[in-house]
């Protein structure tokens, strides 16, 4: 056959196979799939032969040790849970913390002697492997030790007590346990038994653990406390939300592990608090159908879920996610932060929710928030697109940072609320608070973003007719006005502002800002001279439905007469600073004598704003103006958070563990109109699980009382927390403090 | 009405509305959606009134300047494209680079005088805004300047030539341009006209640009060169793939911008090469249906797409993605790197593809790759799950790093191949090569990962019967053996290993590894003493189908006789190091006299491996053994890349621009069996667009010739590149170099 004869001729390509392409398999990419599920597990055999058994099978193994019973000592009042600070978890399983010894009792068919070869084996995930830390045998003798220490702490009759110390950096999650006896023919071991499954958590009490926190007051608050207070409102009129973190409630620990499983986080990464917190910051929010825990919604329409303001705690959310395996609707920043806090405390990472008042957001880590004025000095709402959030909540968690140079361990910012402008940044942190304070924002993760949230300037631009803009005023003190968290122990606030920033105007502050600019943060460089007229807006505490007066003070600091053409704009805003509706626009001309001040009174009638209110009932006043004599611009901003009616919560009864008590919620509709589609929710850490009640209508002026019975589960000071929510009125709260005696 | 009468009673909650929940809107979250599409644009009006026009409308505007023509000077041979190095782009639009002046000619209805108020306006994306850099007016006079400089470079009659210099940090993408004249009544401007749209790219020639690269040879290679060579195979038997980057081809620039649009990358981020490269590293791979450009597949089954080894260039891939808006099937590492390279060069970021031989992968940034041996010293394939990639390709791109301390600018690693074990790391970089070399892996982004890819140790563990393991041998020189890229200018290799690492065994190397450990990289600490017997495997160059002999040399460096119980395993592996099939297992016992060496010959017959070969025809030999006298372990590893038959590519004809030429591809099936379902592909930078041909069968021993005509588009040295691909034989390449005269 010659070459020519055999020359193949091209033919049309066959049509591609129809139907969707099959899922691409892993073959050729990696030797085995990476274990990433804690619920998957591979059983290990009851008997592992050494070599092939002979034709007559095994010889009788009667001379070797046999295991008759294993006691995990897992009752809440036994020493394991007491010493490991896990007695509050509502779980039948043993729960311990790494880097600290726990005990198990093993009973054999005869007394254990030192020549017996036994091991207690722990496995986690599928494909357990010694070198990956997913299979850990623990031996009772000093001669033979693995990364987890073992010793016999007691021996009596056929029973021994083994003290086992998991490595302080071991994987956190749910392990299964086996007892194995080595014989010359093979290894004999206990059958898989779910009652011997145990959870190993992070340990802030162990000095070798990366989350070690050497302060018992802080640990009691940031790991053990279920009662939370989350601050909101305005920096000069602070409101509180109560929250039941519920980290010890039945099913919550499993839900937290499920979150990591759902994210396909490799099992081997789960001992590293940096990776766990970073991954969780991404998984807490469900963006673009990635099936995270919570769907964000700031639209005001919560028909298809629960309004963010209506939740009383994390339990409902986490259990719904774990059982439905679907994202839960809906969250805003404090819901993300509160559920994240539950996740962290539940796994043993010390954490707290912090609130930053006037938080720069969505500005891609730059140090500028732009407000555009028209040529006459009035605000140009159409062109002002940046917004300052009245407040924003994130979490701090405590850990060492071996991935960074020394000095950046300690509290770290993590934030589960998705950022909009950022480059796909639906995760944030851990970012060292120390690094943020010192402007060392070149270190991972996302320190520059958090730095901008507390340090941006508000820049007012005057827009010319040709579209160009000149900066006319820079407010360097508005953003990051106050950072708060709940103080450990009590129910009071703790001011963290000095953890994030040096004092305004200090030399250190200037140095830090310069350093941040060296690392690429952009700031407004021009510094227009301050006007010689100051504009001061008062602090107001107003209830929803009240008429009130806004008193603007114009202070002339010059020796000449000044005339200010002022523009006063009042608008209803979301807590994100986004304007919903204008309800007030006035433009008085104010004349001020040299070195004098003038007060301008603006009357705000409730009928003007009531029909326009959105959920958190914030009114935003911006006053801008041009000084006729100098052309300088004056500005002032004020957020007024209208106070909602409150729920009255009352608790009565014995006040003792396991004795029935009663909680009542009372509400009076203070308005002349009816409230429709009303949900009331109530729960209490250690007292009652979440309950809710629906009222189709509450007529104007009418009252209601809802009573529930409950049985306290443990001693100590706690709270009953209640919320009321309906489309016309959100963010109505009430709580009662209860102390339960033994 | 008393309170009691009005007490509302709870009723059952209404059923939730049926149907899927609606898409959550943005309302309340931000004032306006963040502009993130370059194809979206908002027109600006022809006439913008100042104030409201009176009842009789506008006065006649005849006394003001009117625009009669705008000439973008956009032909390839005009000065703009020549000076901006954009003459090769196959596009009718003006394409210029930022930080460098370009010219436009504007004709008016009368001569321009200095009192006329004109501006040339540029806008990009929806909602253009001056303070965001998405609306830029440019003025001809020195008195009035914005961030982009303008001046009149020529004036003659009614015509002026404006020189415009875009800011060196301006947004990169497609702008529309308007000419505006300001009158006391308003602004008159040109209508939107697509022919005045222009692209502004990164500028490695401009010293103020973050991607400035002060080396014309490098710029010619890393920005202007379309012909690529990508290295693969083994470090001691290197093969080449030719690749047509095709960054100037018709539609490629639009496809690159579409990638950023598809990722919803905010327009305002697109001037920052750090953000652009990081985002693109994520978007180049399509993971979990995020609709990135390329679907990875290492399975060997490419029925539903094009086999990764079959592509000849990036053009087909990018155009298919942009037109279908669906991920393209299929890629492996060099395809990701090659298409990423096109993206980078097309936008003007200097870049090159590098190959790292023996690349640690999927090990989560740790410095250990584990190989598990049985107690007898033979490899335990079931438990060895880590793999070392025979080679891995990534990109380097050149830029300053203002976000890091000084000294980390320059070449940066970016990698679009998704990592499997990493914490959701489907993006990687930019990571400073300087930081990697010096162990400063605390700096973003992902430097620790890349550090591990070139610096990990291979650790051999011996597994005991009880499941515990002891490290018995640590190979510190295997991983990151050689890092190569194509040398600028020629067709030769450039060794970049010393850019990534200090010499093996140097003091600097030890210091760097210690620093990396301080930043959390985990290394095997134990250092088992080296055995006194060395095992050496030869370098082999073998063609597919050949029988050959493997000669193992055992060198006894001790003064005693040594006996080695050796295990020789030969397996077919994917280029990822993953084993497909074993084809050889021998276990000779070798006795070596003191200070002597012994050669053990192993015959490898082609019939044993041929039926088991997978696409890149790699054979992996691992020899392990135990020295009887000392219990020490010896190991040796060798990858043999079998050489495939080649395509013969021949080019004939004039060799001049616009004169027809002819390219032929010849192939002879060297095997005794037929090849079925064969695709041959051919293309050439500046010569021909991608073409392919399908042959349903090529009988064993037969030959074929495929001839295509083409017309060269420009002068210079270039290549015709061809591949042949079928399920039974992949990675068959050929190329011919052509020099085109004017």
B290 contacts in chain A (CB < 8 Å): 288
B8 contacts in chain A (CB < 8 Å): 695-699, 702, 704
Instruction: For helices B315-324 and B333-347, give the axis angle rounded to 10 degrees.
Output: 80
Measured between CA atoms, the residue of chain B closest to residue A404 is: B442
- Mean pLDDT, to the nearest integer, of A372-378? 86
Looking at residue B362, the DSSP 8-state letter turns out to be S
Measured between CA atoms, the residue of chain A closest to residue B147 is: A468
pLDDT of residue A5 exceeding 50, the answer is: no
Looking at residue B596, the DSSP 8-state letter turns out to be -
Query: Distance between CA atoms of A297 and A241, rounded to whole angstroms?
Result: 19
Band (B2; pLDDT cuts 50, 70, 90): very low
- Mean pLDDT, to the nearest integer, of B278-300? 87
Query: Distance between CA atoms of B373 and B353, rounded to whole angstroms?
Result: 36
Q: Distance (Å) from the C-alpha of residue A186 to the closest C-alpha of chain B? A: 8
Q: Do B269 and A364 touch (CB under 8 A)?
A: yes
Q: Tell me: the pLDDT tens digits for A585-623?
A: 999 999 999 999 999 999 999 999 988 888 888 999 999
- Mean pLDDT, to the nearest integer, of B27-36? 78
What is chain A's mean pLDDT, rounded? 90
Tokens matching residue A21? 């392409």
Query: Distance between CA atoms of A186 and A49, rounded to whole angstroms?
Result: 4
Instruction: For helices B252-262 and B273-283, give the axis angle rounded to 10 degrees.
Output: 90
Query: Distance between CA atoms of A679 and A665, rounded to whole angstroms?
Result: 12
B76-79 contact pairs (CB < 8 A, 24+)? B79/B103
pLDDT of residue B150 exceeding 70, the answer is: yes
Query: Distance between CA atoms of A360 and A477, rounded to whole angstroms?
Result: 12
Question: For a pLDDT cut of 90, what percent of chain B falls above it?
Answer: 70
Band (B1; pLDDT cuts 50, 70, 90): very low
Query: Distance between CA atoms of A314 and A721, rounded to whole angstroms?
Result: 12
pLDDT of residue B511 exceeding 90, the answer is: yes
B420 contacts in chain A (CB < 8 Å): 29-30, 34
A693 contacts in chain B (CB < 8 Å): 10
The SS3 assignment for B254 reads: helix
- Mean pLDDT, to the nearest integer, of A702-710? 96
A563 and A628 Cβ atoms separated by less than 8 Å: yes
- B387 or A6: which carries more pLDDT confidence? B387
String of DSSP letters for B74-136: -STTSHHHHHTT-TTS--SSEEEETTS-EEEEEEESS---TT--EEEEEE-SSS--GGGTSEE
The SS3 assignment for A230 reads: strand
Q: Tell me: the pLDDT tens digits for B625-664?
A: 999 999 899 999 999 999 999 999 999 998 999 999 999 9
Closest CA to A284 of A355, A333, A323, A229: A333
What is chain B's mean pLDDT, rounded? 90
pLDDT of residue A1 exceeding 70, the answer is: no
Tell me which H or E stretch contains A274. Answer: helix A273-283
- Mean pLDDT, to the nearest integer, of A84-99? 96
Question: For a pLDDT cut of 70, what percent of chain B falls above it?
Answer: 94
B383 contacts in chain A (CB < 8 Å): 129
Which member of A268, A424, A469 has the closest CB to residue B279? A424
A430 and A399 Cβ atoms separated by less than 8 Å: yes
Q: Distance (Å) from the C-alpha of residue A191 to the closest C-alpha of chain B? A: 17
B702 contacts in chain A (CB < 8 Å): 1, 3, 6-8
Write out the catalytic residue numbers of B: 333, 392, 415
pLDDT of residue B5: 43
A1 contacts in chain B (CB < 8 Å): 701-702
- Mean pLDDT, to the nearest integer, of A519-533? 85
Look up A392 and say whether it is catalytic: yes
pLDDT of residue A553: 95
Band (A2; pLDDT cuts 50, 70, 90): very low
- A465 or A367: which carries more pLDDT confidence? A367
Q: How many other C-beta atoms lie within 10 A of the C-beta of residue B113?
A: 9
pLDDT of residue A287: 75
Look up A415 and say whether it is catalytic: yes
- B115 or A318: which carries more pLDDT confidence? A318
pLDDT of residue B191 exceeding 50, the answer is: yes
pLDDT of residue A77: 86
pLDDT of residue B586 exceeding 80, the answer is: yes
In the A/B pair of chains, how many CB contacts fall below 8 A?
289
pLDDT of residue B628: 93
Which of A424, A677, A726 is the best substitution to test chain B (most B C-beta atoms within 10 A)? A424
pLDDT of residue B364 exceeding 90, the answer is: no
Tell me which H or E stretch contains A51. Answer: none
Q: Do B466 and A180 touch (CB under 8 A)?
A: yes
Question: Active site residue: A392, A397, A446, A478, which one?
Answer: A392
Q: Do B266 and A12 touch (CB under 8 A)?
A: no
Query: Distance between CA atoms of A590 and A599, rounded to whole angstroms?
Result: 9
- The b-or-e profile of A569-603 (16+ CB within 10 A means b, else e) is bbbbbbbbbbbbeebbeeebebebeeeeebebebe
- Mean pLDDT, to the nearest integer, of B526-540? 88
Question: How many Cα atoms within 13 Å fall on the side-chain side of residue B461?
Answer: 24
Closest CA to B638 of B234, B368, B323: B234
Measured between CA atoms, the residue of chain B closest to residue A295 is: B24
Q: How many other C-beta atoms lie within 10 A of the C-beta of residue A425?
A: 18
Question: How many Cα atoms within 13 Å fall on the side-chain side of residue A684?
Answer: 31
Measured between CA atoms, the residue of chain A closest to residue B330 is: A24
Measured between CA atoms, the residue of chain B closest to residue A26 is: B299
Three-state secondary structure string covering B151-192: EEEEEECCEEEEEEECCCCCCCEEEEEEEEEEECCEEEECCC
B615 and B731 Cβ atoms separated by less than 8 Å: yes
- Mean pLDDT, to the nearest integer, of A271-296? 89
pLDDT of residue A161 exceeding 90, the answer is: yes
Looking at residue B274, the DSSP 8-state letter turns out to be H
Band (B466; pLDDT cuts 50, 70, 90): confident
Least confident of A4-8, A70-74, B257-261, B320-324: A4-8
- Alpha helix (H) ranges present in B543-672? 606-609
Q: Tell me: the pLDDT tens digits for A439-475?
A: 999 999 999 999 999 999 999 999 887 778 889 999 9
Adjacency order of strands within the sheet including B688-698? B688-698, B675-684, B716-726, B729-740
Band (A3; pLDDT cuts 50, 70, 90): very low
Closest CA to A79 of A99, A100, A59: A100
Band (B61; pLDDT cuts 50, 70, 90): low
Look up A478 and say whether it is catalytic: no
Three-state secondary structure string covering A427-495: CCCCEEHHHHHCCCCCCCCCHHHHHHHHHCEEEEEEECCCCCEEEEEEECCCCCCEEEEECCCCCCEEE
Which member of A28, A130, A443 has the closest CB to residue B300? A28
The SS3 assignment for B433 reads: helix
Which member of B119, B182, B295 has the closest CB to residue A24? B295
Question: Active site residue: A370, A415, A446, A457, which one?
Answer: A415
- Mean pLDDT, to the nearest integer, of A361-382? 84
Q: Distance (Å) from the C-alpha of residue B49 to the closest C-alpha of chain A? A: 10
Query: Distance between CA atoms of B270 and B202, rounded to whole angstroms?
Result: 10
Band (B76; pLDDT cuts 50, 70, 90): confident
A659 and A741 Cβ atoms separated by less than 8 Å: no
Q: Do A699 and B443 touch (CB under 8 A)?
A: no
Q: Distance (Å) from the C-alpha of residue A343 to the closest C-alpha of chain B? A: 18
Instruction: For helices A333-347 and A315-324, give the axis angle rounded to 10 degrees.
Output: 80
- Mean pLDDT, to the nearest integer, of A170-183? 94
Query: Distance between CA atoms of B356 and B354, rounded to whole angstroms?
Result: 7
Burial of residue B534 (number of CB atoms within 10 Å: 0-12, 13-18, 19+): middle
Q: Do B403 and A442 touch (CB under 8 A)?
A: yes
Residue with tokens 């095992």: B535
- Mean pLDDT, to the nearest integer, of B554-580? 92
Q: Tell me: the pLDDT tens digits for B296-341?
A: 999 888 988 999 999 999 999 999 999 999 999 999 999 999 999 9
B31 contacts in chain A (CB < 8 Å): 384-387, 578-579
Which pairing describes strands A67-71 and A135-138: parallel, antiparallel, or unpaired?
unpaired
CA distances from A385 to A522, A618, A640, B171, B719 (A): 18, 18, 21, 19, 51
Closest CA to B486 of B615, B338, B347: B338
Tell me which H or E stretch contains B412. Answer: strand B410-414
pLDDT of residue A363 exceeding 50, the answer is: yes
């Amino acid at each position: 056959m010659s070459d020519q004869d055999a020359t193949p001729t091209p033919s049309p390509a066959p049509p591609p196979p129809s139907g969707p392409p099959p899922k691409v398999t892993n073959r050729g990419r990696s030797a085995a799939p990476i274990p990433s599920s804690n619920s998957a597990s591979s059983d290990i055999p009851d008997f592992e032969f050494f070599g092939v058994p002979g034709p007559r099978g095994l010889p009788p193994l009667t001379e070797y040790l046999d295991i008759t019973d294993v006691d995990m000592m897992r009752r809440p009042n036994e020493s394991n849970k007491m010493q490991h600070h896990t007695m509050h978890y509502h779980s039948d399983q043993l729960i311990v913390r790494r880097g600290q010894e726990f005990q198990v009792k093993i009973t054999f068919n005869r007394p254990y002697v030192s020549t017996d070869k036994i091991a207690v084996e722990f496995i986690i995930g599928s494909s357990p492997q010694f070198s990956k830390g997913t299979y850990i045998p623990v031996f009772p003798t000093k001669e033979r030790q693995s990364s987890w220490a073992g010793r016999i702490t007691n021996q009596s009759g056929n029973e021994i007590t083994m003290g086992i110390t998991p490595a302080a950096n071991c994987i956190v999650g749910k392990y299964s346990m086996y007892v194995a006896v080595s014989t010359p023919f093979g290894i004999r071991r206990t059958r898989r038994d779910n009652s011997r499954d145990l959870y190993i958590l992070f340990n802030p009490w162990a000095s070798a653990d990366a989350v070690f926190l050497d302060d018992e007051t802080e640990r009691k608050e940031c790991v053990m406390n279920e009662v939370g207070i989350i601050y909101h409102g305005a920096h000069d009129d602070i409101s509180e939300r109560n929250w039941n973190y519920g980290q010890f409630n039945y099913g919550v620990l499993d839900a937290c592990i499920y979150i990591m499983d759902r994210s396909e986080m490799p099992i081997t990464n789960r001992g590293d608090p940096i990776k766990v917190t970073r991954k969780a910051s991404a998984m807490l929010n469900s963006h673009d159908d990635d099936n995270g825990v919570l769907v964000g919604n700031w639209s005001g329409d919560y028909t298809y879920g629960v309004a963010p303001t209506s939740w009383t705690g994390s339990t409902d959310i986490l259990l719904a996610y774990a059982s439905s395996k679907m994202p839960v609707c809906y969250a805003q920043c404090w819901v993300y932060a509160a559920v994240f806090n539950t996740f962290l405390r539940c796994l043993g990472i010390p954490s707290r929710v912090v609130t930053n008042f006037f938080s720069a957001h969505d500005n891609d880590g730059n140090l500028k928030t732009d407000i555009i004025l028209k040529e006459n000095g009035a605000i140009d709402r159409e062109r002002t697109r940046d917004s300052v959030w009245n407040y924003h909540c994130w979490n701090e968690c405590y850990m060492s940072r071996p991935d960074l140079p020394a000095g950046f361990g300690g509290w770290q910012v993590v934030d589960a609320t998705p950022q909009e402008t950022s480059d796909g940044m639906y995760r944030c942190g851990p970012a060292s608070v120390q690094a943020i304070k010192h402007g060392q924002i070149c270190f991972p993760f996302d320190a520059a973003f958090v730095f901008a949230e507390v340090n941006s300037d508000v820049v007012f631009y005057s827009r010319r007719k040709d579209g160009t803009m000149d900066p006319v005023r820079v407010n360097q003190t508005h953003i990051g006005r106050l950072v708060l968290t709940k103080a450990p122990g009590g129910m009071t606030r703790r001011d963290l502002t000095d953890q994030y920033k040096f004092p305004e105007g200090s030399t250190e502050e200037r140095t830090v800002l310069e350093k941040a600019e060296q690392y690429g943060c952009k700031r407004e460089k021009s510094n227009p001279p301050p006007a010689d007229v100051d504009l001061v807006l008062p602090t107001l505490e107003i209830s929803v439905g009240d008429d009130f007066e806004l008193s603007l003070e114009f202070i002339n600091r010059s020796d000449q007469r000044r005339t200010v053409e002022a523009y006063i704009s009042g608008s209803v805003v979301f807590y994100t600073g986004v304007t919903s509706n204008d309800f007030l626009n006035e433009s008085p001309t104010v004349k001020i004598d040299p070195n004098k001040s003038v007060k301008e009174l603006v009357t705000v009638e409730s009928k003007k704003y009531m029909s326009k209110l959105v959920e958190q009932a914030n009114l935003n006043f911006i006053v801008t103006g041009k000084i006729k004599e100098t052309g300088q611009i004056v500005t002032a901003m004020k957020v007024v958070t209208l106070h909602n009616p409150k729920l009255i919560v009352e608790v009565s009864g014995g006040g003792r563990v396991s004795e029935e008590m009663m909680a009542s919620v009372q509400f009076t509709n203070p308005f002349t109109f009816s409230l429709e589609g009303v949900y009331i929710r109530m729960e209490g850490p250690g007292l009652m699980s979440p309950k809710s009640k629906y009222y189709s209508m509450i007529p104007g002026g009418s009252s209601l009382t809802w009573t529930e019975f409950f049985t306290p589960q443990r001693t100590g000071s706690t709270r009953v927390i209640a919320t009321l929510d309906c489309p016309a009125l959100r963010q109505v709260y009430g709580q009662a403090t209860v102390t339960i005696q033994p």
